[in-house]
Homo-oligomer: A and B are copies of this chain.
């Protein structure tokens, strides 16, 4: 009964409603993507009127940005082996818990131009760091392949819900992925040409 809710009940109610809208929007953007998610559906799921969503977030695009804006990831530095482990740790984390912001962005990355743009910006730094750690002549291609593997795994697991990946634990997946990524981040074992 003596809980710390002494604040003006007005602002508290507003914050709660706004949070409910954001949660509903996140869920719908993750599940259905940008185009198939309507302001009306978000409002219905949050138990409010569509006009209120507009009043709070300005536009559908702005709401999408609020949902998908992620805190910047920590830098990738060190030897290729260390960078590989950092990437694996990141993948393990994303396999363990649903990365809401990333998934909302990923779901629309192929069909919503603004999502693709944000995604690009995010992976550019990623590429540069990986490429720098590899330091070989074909480091750019290798870094792009590392990103491609990462993308494929997360998309298969969380968005396409591939049965083989959804049932497996993060530990097993990262263990299987380790030699795969190591072969990409280390510039020996050139691959049998021809």
Interface residues of A in 154-194 (CB under 8 A from B): 155-157, 159-160, 162-165, 167-168, 171-181, 183-184, 189-193
Interface size class of A (residues with CB under 8 A): 35 or more
In chain B, what residue has the closest Cβ to A34? B111
Count of this chain's copies in the oligomeric assembly: 2
Interface residues of A: mostly helix, strand, loop or mixed? helix
* A140 vs B157: C-alpha distance when bound (angstroms): 13
* A162 vs B126: C-alpha distance when bound (angstroms): 12
Contact residues in B for A34 (Cβ distance below 8 Å): 111
Interface residues of A in 18-42 (CB under 8 A from B): 32-36
Task: Determine if A57 is an interface residue (Cβ-Cβ < 8 Å).
Answer: no
* A106 vs B189: C-alpha distance when bound (angstroms): 32
B176 A191 Cβ-Cβ under 8 A = yes
Contact residues in B for A157 (Cβ distance below 8 Å): 148
Contact residues in B for A36 (Cβ distance below 8 Å): 35, 111
Contact residues in B for A33 (Cβ distance below 8 Å): 110-111
In chain B, what residue has the closest Cβ to A151? B152
Task: Determine if A144 is an interface residue (Cβ-Cβ < 8 Å).
Answer: yes
* A69 vs B152: C-alpha distance when bound (angstroms): 23
- Residue of B127, B159, B163, B175 near A140 (CB, 8 A) is B163
- Residue of B142, B151, B177 near A156 (CB, 8 A) is B151
The 6 closest A-B CB pairs, nearest first, are A152-B152, A144-B164, A175-B191, A148-B152, A179-B183, A33-B111
